[in-house]
Structure 1
Amino acid sequence: MSLDKHQLRIFYKGLRAALTEEELEKKSLQITCRVMAFLSKREELKHFHLFFPIPRHREINTYPIKAYLENRGSTIYTSRVGADTLFLETLLLKPYTKFQLDKWGIPVPEDFELVSSKSIQVVFVPLLAFDQYGNRIGFGKGYYDVFLDSLDHSVLKIGLSFFSAESGIPSELHDIPLDYCITPENIITF
């Protein structure tokens, strides 16, 4: 019996909630090591869009990936929901910027510049679950699908996941599949 998107969200939120702080950090560091291995063979990639972890969602700690990208001399972007829209705005991070949590607990850079997303070559995509075809489930707001759809189709979409792939996830026409997903154990190509 397969689960629908709502059931999968509940299931994976529960799996995340069951992880200890030590497990969260260990899995996050394993993912960081795999990201480093993946990028070590792709020196031509210089412009990265990175999400930052919302503590209450128990997301992957991406700050070590940020540090690696900075040391590599990469340009790093993140996003925020626009004040007057439901679209993600692209923010160019200043080197070694710090973050503070906004009123919703979302990490917001203290120093950034609002820019176009045209230079982005790679987007690290947050998700709750993914399948063997590159379909993913996020928190259900659709921000990333709209954002990914606005980018050039050559942009690499790389999911980061604590857990392995599902055999299948229901997908809709507006869903944008991943090109890769990096877990603590694997780098999966779709």
Structure 2
Amino acid sequence: MKTKQELRSAYRQLRKSLKQEEVEVKSKAINAQLQKWLEGKDSIQHFHLFFPIDRFNEVNTFYIQNSLDQKGKTLYTSQVNKANTELETLKLPADAAFFLDEWGIPVPQESIMVSPGKIELVFVPLLAYDKSGNRVGFGKGFYDTFLSTLNNDVIKIGLSFFEPEEAIQPEPHDIELDYCITPEKVFTF
């Protein structure tokens, strides 16, 4: 079994090898899979999105944002509070304009800091994941800390261009995904 560090390195390289057009095509396919998955789940109204760091070839979640905006859903994102290295929850206005922070993360120019208590579904960034819903992120622990503050019934969905690993050794603080959406299918854990 590969270590988390080995997986981080391998998946960073895999993502780096993707051309920009591939990232866009696969991101649109992930959004299409999500929209299919959401059929019949109209009660889910509050979604937390991460936005892509372009240089890391992350899933372009602006497609998801647009689809959910059109359905009238309430959207949130986060920004890092540098003082305590925790994620603060921001409510996204419709038609939000973005700027890039020092890490290259798109942050809304106008937003309202809110309690994360209403969030029902979180899209979780990742580099790799396994067939049990364990994930490897960038190693800072921001999302595991954030997820640990939310209601237990919040749906956690990873987004990935790639298939799952067989197994990833979780650490005690790791929080498992409920689903992972790829361009081809939705994995349920």
Q: Give secondary structure in 1 for the equivalent of 2:75.
A: strand
> What SS does the corresponding residue of 1:118 show, helix, strand or coil?
helix
Q: Is 1:19 paired with 2:18?
A: yes
Instruction: Tell me the equivalent position of 1:42.
Output: 41
Q: Give 1:151 shift.
A: 0.3
Provide the residue aligned with 2:107 in structure 1: 108
Query: Does residue 71 of structure 1 match 2:70?
Result: yes
What is the CA RMSD across the aligned residues, in angstroms?
0.7
- Structure 1 CA distance, aligned partners of 2:29 and 2:87? 28
Letter in 2 for 1:100: F
Q: Which structure 1 segments of 5+ residues have no match? A: none
Once the two structures are TM-superposed, the CA of residue 102 in structure 1 deviates from its matched residue by 1.5
State the identity %: 51
1:62 is aligned to 61
Q: Which amino acid in the other structure matches residue 146 of structure 1?
A: T
| 1:91 corresponding residue in structure 2 | 90
The residue matched to 2:112 in structure 1 has which SS? strand
How many residues align? The count is 189
Distance 1:70 1:84 in 2: 32
For 2:13 and 2:74, the matched residues in 1 are separated by 35
Displacement of 1:21 in angstroms is: 1.0
1:176 Cα offset (Å): 0.1
| d(CA) in 1 for partners of 2:169, 2:56 | 22
Calculate the TM-score normalised by the size of structure 1: 0.98
TM-score, structure 2 as length reference = 0.98
CA shift, 1:83, in A, is 3.5
Aligned equivalent of 1:174: 173
* Contact kept? 2:48, 2:119, Cα under 8 Å: yes
Looking at structure 1, the residues matched to 80 and 7 of structure 2 have their Cα atoms a distance apart, in angstroms, of: 25
8 Å Cα contact 2:179-2:186 kept in structure 1: yes
